[in-house]
Structure 1
Amino acid sequence: MNNTITRTNFNFPGQISVYKGKVRDVYALKDDRLLMIATDRLSAFDVVMPKGIPYKGQILNQIATKMMEATKDIVPNWLEATPDPNVAVGKKCEPFKVEMVIRGYLSGHAAREYKAGKRELCGVKMPEGMKENDRFPNPIITPATKAEQGDHDEDISREDILKRGIVSEDDYKVLEDYTRKLFERGRQIAKERGLILVDTKYEFGKTEDGKIVLIDEIHTPDSSRFFYMKGYEERQENNEPQKQLSKEFVRQWLIENGFQGKEGQQLPEMSDEYIESVSERYIELYEKITGEKFEKADVSNIEKRIEDNVLKYLG
């Protein structure tokens, strides 16, 4: 369990600043490049768990890299290189302060809101008579404001985003267009793997020359939910839970153990056995989503491996 990376403290040549997110640590370099390290931290309900998950950072980074490669013909992205299994390097961007969440099915947060009697999410109407995990007639975009560290991301409507000037109308149209195109491509890729891309979120930034690009991660189990296609219809007909590939299994475990990130709630203890099982699930996710066998990187000294690879790349 010690062979995880949960915090970083590097000092790379030309380094200007460091930003530490829930899962990724972002190092800004002098030449308008960002170096992003995917750690093994696990976040759920906007809370970072006390223990890391072996290989999680590598899995997220490598899935995101493959998916950016598979979508760059339809949407430009920030990525330039991956010098280490946990590291991505790319163009510095000014991130938009919204996450573009798109949902093809009534699942997760949307299902919880629906169960609570709500029929509108982020200003978008949801049809009556749906049950959990039913497919929406058309995918819906339900944005969230990007939280500062420690705060919860909050649902927000398109109207409020424009009214509050968070994103200009012209830029927002591009974000919506890119979101729909990426989701459609993601669904096609998932279908080839016998999966359904249920919902996901995309984040975008603007480069210095005003170009809007995809940033952060894409189609990973942390940002997306996948169902197995086989047996989906039967499970819906029989009111059975869907077999899914996402971080939702961790959220469900936390809910069962009395934790949803609300004030006064105690984080349940994660045993080594449980952490091992989460790591195995992430590896299964990787193999299903990419259709490739997962190759474990050397984790005997992750910090040194990362430093050596990055220094070699920076030359």
Structure 2
Amino acid sequence: MELIYKGKTKDVYKLEDGNILLKFKDDVTGEDGVFDPGANTVGLTIEGAGQSGLRMTTFFFEKMAEEGIPSHYIDANIEDVTMTVKAATMFGNGLEVICRYRAVGSFLRRYGAYCEEGQVLDAFVEVTIKDDERNDPPISKDGLAQLDILTNEEYDTLEALTKQISNVVKDTLAEKGLDLYDIKLEFGRDSQTGDIILIDEISGGNMRVYKEGTYIAPLDLEKLVLA
């Protein structure tokens, strides 16, 4: 295996067959020791977080496959905390796509003059550029096109996939009496076909979930969802 990249929450290796191996860590994003799925720094280390995140990710990627939603997922080894995926290229240096059902986090910090905390949103899709130095700035559809990161047609595909995927997650959680407030997804182009596919992970580490108004931490969420 060839180490390609050491990330905040995963290390990335290239396999001899051209596929990619993701090694999940126990580090999670946040600030000052508090978990925050929207943060761009490692805030704390939680024992078992990597394995928990992989179990959730495997569960949701397999659900996406049942729905016919394209992703990079091939298989996973829970014991080794690794996931094998198809190679994909990023948009620019990477984009994060957030689907928001409630006004919380950075959305509330920016637009708090116009909304109340927890206010219901209609699957609001927001794209940010992955750039730690510039604090992951939001960017519009027109901005992405003018900077040659994403075409208008690709943006439409990205937005539609984001809503479809997020609604699958939201409905799955609702069956357990859980409310999805927001979720952060990543996409890339399949290196073989060029198609836009879901990449990275779908776990408690990249979503905010509440039950009867109480926030559910990632490890607790995995236990509730997979119970």
Question: What is the TM-score when the length of structure 2 is the normalising length?
Answer: 0.87
In the aligned structure 2, how far is the partner of 1:176 from the partner of 1:282? Answer: 25
Q: What is the SS of the residue equivalent to 2:209?
A: strand
Q: How many residues align?
A: 214
Query: Which is strand-richer, 1 or 2?
Result: 2
**Partner amino acid, structure 2, of 1:74:** G
How far is 1:151 from its partner?
5.7
Asked if the contact 1:198–1:226 (Cα under 8 Å) also holds between the matched residues in 2, the reply is yes
In the other structure, the counterpart of 2:221 is: 285
In the other structure, the counterpart of 2:40 is: 46
In the other structure, the counterpart of 1:107 is: 104
2:195 to 208, 211, 215: 211
Measured at CA, do residues 288 and 151 of structure 1 come closer, stay the same or move farther in structure 2, by a change above 3 Å? farther
In the aligned structure 1, how far is the partner of 2:51 from the partner of 2:164? Answer: 26
Asked if the contact 2:141–2:152 (Cα under 8 Å) also holds between the matched residues in 1, the reply is no
1:205-238 CA distance string (max 9 Å, x none):
11122122111011x221111121x4xxxxxxxx
In the aligned structure 1, how far is the partner of 2:184 from the partner of 2:28? Answer: 17
In the other structure, the counterpart of 2:117 is: 132
Asked if the contact 2:100–2:124 (Cα under 8 Å) also holds between the matched residues in 1, the reply is yes
1:90 matched to 2:75: no
In the aligned structure 2, how far is the partner of 1:211 from the partner of 1:160? Answer: 21
Asked if the contact 2:205–2:218 (Cα under 8 Å) also holds between the matched residues in 1, the reply is no
Larger Cα-atom Rg: 1
**Partner amino acid, structure 1, of 2:131:** A
Return 5+ residue gaps in structure 1 as ranges: 1-14, 118-127, 231-241, 246-280, 293-315
In the other structure, the counterpart of 1:259 is: none
In the other structure, the counterpart of 2:166 is: 183
In the aligned structure 1, how far is the partner of 2:59 from the partner of 2:90? Answer: 21
1:42-64 CA distance string (max 9 Å, x none):
22132224x63110000111101
Q: Once the two structures are aligned, what percentage of the paired residues are identical?
A: 25
Q: What is the SS of the residue equivalent to 2:194?
A: coil
Asked if the contact 1:46–1:151 (Cα under 8 Å) also holds between the matched residues in 2, the reply is no
Question: What is the TM-score when the length of structure 1 is the normalising length?
Answer: 0.64
In the aligned structure 2, how far is the partner of 1:56 from the partner of 1:110? Answer: 26
1:143 to 127, 138, 142: 127
How far is 1:30 from its partner?
2.8
Return 5+ residue gaps in structure 2 as ranges: 31-38
How far is 1:283 from its partner?
2.9
1:171-196 CA distance string (max 9 Å, x none):
22111110010111111101101011
**Partner amino acid, structure 2, of 1:95:** M
